[in-house]
Every structure is written in structure tokens, then in C-alpha cells.
Amino acid sequence: MTLVIKGGRLLCPERGTVEEGDVLCRDGLIEAVGPGVAAGAPAGAEVFDARGLLVVPGLIDMHVHLRDPGLEYKEDIVSGTRAAAAGGFTTVACMPNTSPVVDHAAMVSYIVGRARQVGVVNVLPIGAVTKGLAGKELAEIGDMSQAGIVGISDDGQPVWNGELMRTALQYSSMYGIPVIAHSEDRHLAEEGQMHYGAWSAVLGLRGIPAVAEAAMIARDCMLVELTGGRLHVAHVSTELSLSVIAWARARGIAVTCEVTPHHLTLTDEEVARTGYDTSTKVNPPLRGPADVEAMRKGLREGFIEAIGSDHAPHSRDDKDVEYNFAANGVIGLETTVPVLLTEIVGKGHADLVTVVRAMTLGPARILGLERKGRLAAGMDADLAILDLDHPWRIDPAAFKSKSRNTPFAGWEVRGLAAATVVAGRVVWRDGQICV
């Protein structure tokens, strides 16, 4: 099976270049990349005319909640992978806080098998750190690793017990997978509804201070130094956290981090502006302007290696309640590309190559995906073909996701995924899933 992407502008995140050229895909792999390679395509090959479009390696969202199994009313592998494809993502890493929890190999196999059966993009499970996410005993990390997990995380909860985190870092280092930390001091964050600051004071909502995140990151960084494990900080959100990570890196500690599109674009004022709309409720919370600026700078300078959407689908009933009772989380698969192109690239906070790198090469390296994230011969033939100019308005009703919980509803944006290619097959094109 051969697919030729012809006449696009090819963005190579590794070299940081954008140049005209073709991509030749055969049997699920990229065979050749560059000007004129389309000429080498066999007769009868499928040709995709990419003139005027940007061709990038398939986007990787390393932080997604597919809610399957157990919470299928929010999302499932069918809808979640379609949402991913519609957003230009060819690979998603899914968090283990399903029901039951992904804390043993059978659950991993279920997800991998189900995704192969009904999914339209690559699904890479992340296993739990502790059984049932209970923070008591280690999950079967070795077994899950052999079944295909790419990392472990108790996402949604911190690993509260320092000794257990130490053990997890040690144990996971045997398999070369990162511990993905949801960094939060539970006491400091208790009953917190939003960022602690002037807006929480004005709105009378209990605030979660920046230190609740940064303090746990500091502990975990020191544990990495002690154990030699690998730490990835999920959804970093405060300037203080970045300072802690910089300090750790200066000591030679192996720590990576990711930022979400909403922490790059929205501040805590959004809670007031929307009159307590629960689409602004997320953990970590939307932070202050200085924090958002720090996230942009961190991304721009490559300090933050990855963008993860923390796609957290919730049904209307989970969100259509009083603010304190609403579930935390926003969805991101179908808004990440347009929001970042419009608000981050479009407004000069970071350049296009840097943003694409943080959605391709960055997460591929963190998760150890050797055949993903680059536009080169021998890589998996996963591609996103972006239209950078298309103006549109974000309409949650049109989402492929089952959920609608986005703070970006109604935003006027520019740019989208014109097509998505997974393993050499076009799975999304012209606003349609095509499988």
C-alpha cells in the first residue's frame, strides 16, 4: 500500500526546517522524504495533493483520558481516537484512571486490542503507579511494561507517599519508562476550586496555590536524584514549578515536563469572566498571567519539551452543576491545533517549529517512541497535514469527542488538521473520518 503526499511544505522538527517536498509512504512506513520523491512512487499509488499545506510528523498527545473502559458515557476508544484524528493526532497516550484502573497487564491488553480493533489512531496505554490508584502498593509495572505501557502515572492524584514514589522511580527505571507525575500537595490543594490569587479571593472560591504543585515537583526531583529514575511532570502550570525544574536540571536530574494548551492561553480571570462557567474548572487550575507568560517562555525556549492536552472528557451532567461540584477537566484533542496556531504561533509567543516539535519529537523522546515524531525515512508513516490559514469558529457540537467540556467554545481560530495519516492510511480528510 503506497501513499504519496505531494507538494506540501515539510516541517522537520529535528532540523527545524520547513521546505517544499513530498513524502512517500509504503506499508506503514515512510520510505522517502524530500523534493521530487513522488516521482519514485509506483503506478496506482494513492496521491494526496498537499499544495499549500504543511506536512508534519503525526502529532502525539501524551496526555489523554479515553475513559475506556468504565466511563464510556464520557468517551471511549472509538470516539476518543476519532477526536484525535480530527485534531491531527496520530498517537495518544491514555491515562489509567479508568474503571477498572489500568493497573495490570490484562487491562493494558484490553486497551491495545480494542484500539487495534476500533481505533483510528495509535493508542499507547499508560499504567498506574499504584494498584487502584490508591497510593498504597505498586501496580504490576513490569508485567504491564511487557504488555505495552509507555509510562506509569496515578494521574489525577499525586503519589502522596514519598517512599512509594521512591520505589516507583526505582522499579520503573528497570523498564526505561518514565513516572508521569500529577504533582499536587493534597493538603495545600484541599477543596481548591481554582488558582489561589486575587481572583479566588474575589470570587470566594478556595484557591490552590502554586506551591501545591511546585513542592511536589521538588520532592519528586530529589527522589529522582536518589533513585536514578525518570520523572515526567504532567501539565506543569506555574512559574514556580518551572523554577524548581530548572534547579533540578542544573543538578543533572532527569526531569521532563509538558504543558497544556489551556495553561498556555487562559488565566484564572476566565472563571470570573465567564461567571463561574464550569468549563474553566480544571486541575491544575488556570493560573495567573505571570504563570501563563512563564509557560509561553518555557515552550518558546524548548525548556518545556511537550504539549499534552490533558484531554479530559466529562459528560454534561458532570459539568452542569454548581462550581464546587463540577468535575475537573477540559477536552483538548480537537482544539489543540487551532488554539495553538492562533494564540501561540499567531501571536508570536512561540514559533511554528517549536510548537510542532513539542507535539511530535518532544513527546516521542519522553515516551521512548523511536519510530515516531520525525519526518524521515524508516519512521512510522504517521503524518498530520495542516492548513495554517483556514479561519473557523470552534463549535463543540461538531466534535467527534462524546464530550463538549471546552473553554474554547465559540473562539475564532485559524488553522486545522486538513488530513491525518496513520501508518500510511488517510484516516481524516476534509472534515470526515475516512476508515
Partner 1 sequence: MLLGTRDILSLREMSRDDMALILDTAESLREIIYRPIKKVPTLRGKTVVTFFHEASTRTRTSFELAAKYMSADTVSLSASTSALVKGESLKDTALTLEAMGSDCIIMRHGVSGSCHYLARMVDAPVINAGDGMHEHPTQGLLDMFTIRRHKGSLEGLRVVLVGDSLHSRVARSNIWGLSKFGAEVSLAGPATLLPEGMGAIGVKSFARVEDALPGADVVMVLRLQRERQGKGLLPSLREYARLYCINGRRLALAKPDALLMHPGPMNRGIEIGTDVADGPQSLITEQVTNGVAVRMAILYLLLGGASE
Identify which of residues 276 and 303 has a Cβ nearer to partner 1 in the complex: 276
Which part of the chain contacts partner 1 (CB under 8 A), choosing from 128-136, 173-181, 221-229, 315-323? Answer: 315-323
Amino acid, single-letter form, for residue 310:
D
Transcribe 118-149 into DSSP letters: H-SSEEEE-B-SBGGG-SSSB--HHHHHHHT-
Tell me the CA distances in angstroms from 137 to 142, 156, 213, 359, one per residue in order.
Answer: 14, 17, 23, 33
Closer to partner 1 by CB, 247 or 325: give it. Answer: 325
Q: Which of 323, 377, 390, 414 binds partner 1 (CB under 8 A)?
A: 323
Only segment of 43-51, 66-74, 190-198, 406-414 that touches partner 1 (CB under 8 A)? 190-198
Backbone angles phi, psi at 338, to 5 degrees: -65, -40
Among 51, 117, 250, 322, binds partner 1 (CB under 8 A): 322
Contact (Cβ atoms closer than 8 angstroms) between residue 429 and residue 435: no
Binding to partner 1 by CB under 8 A, coded x per residue (else -) over 274-313, reads -xx-------------------------------------
Q: Is the peptide bond before 100 cis (omega within 30 degrees of 0)?
A: yes
Task: Answer for the pair 258, 227: CB distance below 8 angstroms, yes or no.
Answer: no
State the nearest-atom distance from the C-beta of 324 to partner 1, in Å. 4
Which residues form the catalytic set?
310
Per-position DSSP letters for 11-71, written without gaps between them = EETTTTEEEEEEEEEETTEEEEEETTGGGGPPTT-EEEE-TT-EEEEPEEEEEE---TTT-
d(CA 125, CA 367): 11
- Please say which residue, 92 or 327, places its beta carbon nearer to partner 1: 327
CA distances from 179 to 54, 105, 202, 223 (A): 33, 17, 37, 11
Candidates 132, 325, 389, 395; binder of partner 1 (CB under 8 A) is 325
Instruction: Specify the stretch interacting with partner 1 by CB under 8 A; choose among 123-131, 319-327, 336-344, 409-417.
Output: 319-327
Q: Which of 39, 174, 246, 321 binds partner 1 (CB under 8 A)?
A: 321
Q: Which is nearer to partner 1, 113 or 289 (CB)?
A: 289
Question: Minimum Å distance from CB 262 to partner 1?
Answer: 19
Residues 318, 331 contacting (CB under 8 angstroms): no
Task: Compare residues 209 and 338 and give the one whose CB is closer to partner 1.
Answer: 209
With respect to partner 1, which residue has the nearer C-beta, 73 or 392? 73
Kindly identify the residues of this chain, within the stretch 238-277, that bind partner 1 according to CB under 8 A: 275-276
- Residue 382 near residue 310 (C-beta atoms within 8 A): no
Cβ closest to partner 1, residue 131 vs residue 206: 206
Q: Residue 201 CB, nearest distance to partner 1 (Å)?
A: 4
Per CB under 8 A, which region of 218-226, 248-256, 322-330, 353-361 contacts partner 1? 322-330
Member of 14, 20, 137, 320 binding partner 1 (CB under 8 A): 320
Cβ distance to partner 1 smaller for residue 205 or 244: 205
Shortest separation between residue 81's beta carbon and partner 1, angstroms: 32
Cis peptide preceding 284, ω within 30 of 0 = yes
Q: How many residues bind partner 1 (CB under 8 A)?
A: 20
CB of 274 to partner 1, least distance (A): 9
Residue 193 is placed in which grid cell?
476550586
CB of 239 to partner 1, least distance (A): 16
The residues in 191-210 that bind partner 1, with binding defined as CB under 8 A, are: 193, 196-198, 200-207
CB distance 341 to 291 below 8 Å: no
Closest separation in Å from C-beta 288 to partner 1: 10
> CA–CA separation, 56 vs 370, rounded Å?
16
Q: How many CA atoms does the CB half-sphere of 313 hold within 13 Å?
A: 30
Query: How remote is the C-alpha of 166 from its chain's centroid?
Result: 25
8 A C-beta contact, residue 290 and residue 340: no
- Which residues contact partner 1 by CB under 8 A? 193, 196-198, 200-207, 275-276, 320-325
